[in-house]
Each structure stands twice: as structure tokens, then as C-alpha cells.
């Protein structure tokens, strides 16, 4: 189903000129008092955090005081940030935000009825308050991720994986939620390197990583475990749901068919899945997933095996 979408591009350099009064005559409107109060509130609030998700959450809650909204969606691919707040709705006002030629992400507001022209003007003006807080938060996120990210694939590295497992394990225990992991291995990867070269192998690793990320929720996490092996941490996910995710990822790899010298290089992956057991440690859960992965490879590859 496709929904009506209003898509705009915001250049914050131009927005800054408008804020100081250098705007075309037809776009000048006399702001209402409540709008000005909200503007001042945003200018102060959005500078109180360096976490992009908190900044966007404050923006969403504040704008709702003036303009009714159902949802806010944001994505910034360079830092792998995807955020969904509220419930999806029919009509969109979407902005591709830039500053000094650099992308600051795509922001979408949603609700069940169309946005009026004056509401769009207010949204666009209020977004100029987001410029520096969001830019600084994205720079901070990028710096933080660089230390925790595999430079080749963009997946989390082993340090990030260990930190995430500790955090997710504690949450699962405290809130009595299920926690599942998938171990994924690219089949016959050594043969790809030996036959087509390591540059092709690197491209395959990146392609598989991106395919996996595109088919996960924004709360799930992907880590490069080593070589051609990846760990996917599935938050609050039962054994049955994890099996469905694993099959989805296996199918996604089959659809890649990576091209090499004009011919498709068919790709398959094998997966092992385990779900945290009562009283089990995170290390034990990982070992069971790893054992299930090797069972999948022994049984012919291109399959998912569930840990016992």
C-alpha cells in the first residue's frame, strides 16, 4: 500500500538566513505567541544531550504541543541510526536535511490527515533549532561507533559485541524477556577469496552485512564475530521468532547473487540459533549457537539449525 507523501529538502544554511530575517517576502508570516514559546523551548532543550535518539524524542514531544503528530521516523545511514517514534500514519511530511553539503539524515513526520500549508511552514522553521544539536550528536555517534565498528563491514566489532551481550543479558534476566542469537557464516567463503581475490571477498562481506541489516528491526544488532562469521543479537525474541528471522536472512543471501566478471556469484549462508535458557550464561548461549551453526554446515550448508 502506498501513502501520499510530501517530500522536501532542508538546507540549514538557508534556514539560518530565514531565521535572521533574510527570507523571501511571500514566506514571511507573523508567528503566534505559542509558536515563539515552543521555538525558545526547543532552542534550550535540544542542546541538553549528545544522544541523537534523545534529541529527536524531545523534538517529537515538543512539536506535538503545537502540531498534532502520530509518528516521527528518522534515519541516518552513515551512522546506522534508525529511529521510529509513535505509530505509523497515512500522511507524511519528509525532509532530507543537509548542512554545508553534508547529509544530516532523513526525517519524516506522520499523521492521519494532511498537513496544512501553515503547519508545514512551522515544521520547517522549527527544524532549524535541530541543526547544531543533531549535527553534534551525529558527530559524537560517529566517533563512538568508530571505536566499536568493524572498519570493513560496518558491523559491530568484538568489543561492541561483548558490551551488547552483557547489557542484553542483564535486561533479559531483569525483565524476564526472551533473548536469542544467530550465528551466521558465509558458505565456501575461502573458495571465493581463492578464486576471485580478496577484494571480491571484501565486497561480498559488505553485501551480506547490508542485506542482514536491512532485514532486522532497529533494536537488533549485527557483529562481525570473525572472518566470514557474524553474530546477530535479537532482543526480546523467542525461539520461534528467531527461527523466522534466521530463515529470512538465509533467503536474503540467496537473493544477492553477487556479480563477478559478468557472471553471478551465488551466495548462501548457514546459521545456528539459540535462545537463552533459565539459569544459563551468555557464554553458554553463544556456544550452543556455534554448535548449531557447525551442525548446519555438516548437514550440507544453506540451512538453519536450532540449538537443543
The distance of Cα 191 from the centroid of its chain, to the nearest Å, equals 32
Burial of 82 (0-12, 13-18, 19+ CB in 10 A): middle
Radius of gyration from C-alpha coordinates of the chain: 23
To which residue does cell 530575517 refer?
A: 21
Distance CA 33, CA 20 (A): 18
- Catalytic residue, candidates 168, 228, 240, 247: 228
* Exposed / middle / buried, residue 140 (Cβ in 10 Å: 0-12, 13-18, 19+): middle
**Contact (Cβ atoms closer than 8 angstroms) between residue 288 and residue 307:** yes
How far apart are alpha carbons 37 and 19 in whole angstroms?
15
Q: Which three cell numbers stand for residue 300?
A: 550440507
Is residue 228 among the annotated active site residues? yes
Strand ranges (DSSP E) for the chain? 5-11, 71-76, 81-86, 91-99, 102-111, 179-186, 221-226, 229-235, 258-260, 263-265, 269-275, 304-306
Catalytic residue IDs: 228
Amino acid at each position: 500500500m502506498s501513502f501520499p507523501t510530501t517530500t522536501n529538502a532542508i538546507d540549514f544554511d538557508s534556514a539560518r538566513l530565514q531565521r535572521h530575517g533574510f527570507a523571501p517576502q511571500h514566506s514571511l508570516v507573523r508567528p503566534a505567541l505559542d509558536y515563539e514559546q515552543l521555538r525558545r523551548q526547543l532552542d534550550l532543550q535540544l542542546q541538553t544531550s549528545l544522544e541523537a535518539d534523545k534529541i529527536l524524542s524531545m523534538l517529537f514531544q515538543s512539536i506535538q504541543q503545537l502540531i498534532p503528530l502520530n509518528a516521527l521516523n528518522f534515519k541516518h545511514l552513515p551512522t546506522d541510526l534508525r529511529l521510529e517514534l509513535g505509530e505509523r500514519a497515512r500522511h507524511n511530511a519528509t525532509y532530507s536535511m543537509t548542512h554545508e553539503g553534508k547529509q544530516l539524515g532523513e526525517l519524516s513526520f506522520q499523521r492521519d490527515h494532511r498537513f496544512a500549508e501553515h503547519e508545514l511552514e512551522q515544521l520547517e522553521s522549527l527544524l532549524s533549532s535541530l541543526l547544531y544539536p543533531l549535527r553534534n550528536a551525529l558527530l559524537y555517534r560517529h566517533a563512538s561507533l568508530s571505536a566499536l565498528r568493524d572498519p570493513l563491514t560496518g558491523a559491530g566489532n568484538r568489543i561492541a559485541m561483548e558490551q551488547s551481550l552483557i547489557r542484553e543479558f542483564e535486561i533479559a534476566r531483569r525483565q524476564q524477556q526472551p533473548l536469542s542469537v544467530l550465528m551466521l557464516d558465509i558458505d565456501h567463503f575461502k573458495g571465493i577469496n581463492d578464486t576471485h581475490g580478496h577484494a571480491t571477498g571484501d565486497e561480498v562481506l559488505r553485501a551480506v552485512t547490508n542485506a542482514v541489516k536491512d532485514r532486522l528491526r532497529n533494536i537488533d544488532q549485527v557483529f562481525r564475530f570473525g572472518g566470514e562469521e557474524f553474530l546477530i543479537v535479537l532482543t526480546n525474541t523467542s525461539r520461534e521468532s528467531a527461527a523466522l528471522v534466521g530463515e529470512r536472512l538465509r533467503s536474503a543471501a540467496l537473493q544477492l547473487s553477487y556479480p563477478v566478471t559478468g557472471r553471478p556469484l551465488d551466495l548462501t549462508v548457514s546459521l545456528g540459533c539459540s535462545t537463552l535458557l533459565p539459569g544459563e550464561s551468555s557464554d553458554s548461549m553463544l556456544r550452543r549457537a556455534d554448535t548449531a551453526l557447525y551442525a548446519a554446515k555438516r548437514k550440507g550448508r544453506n540451512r538453519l539449525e536450532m540449538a537443543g
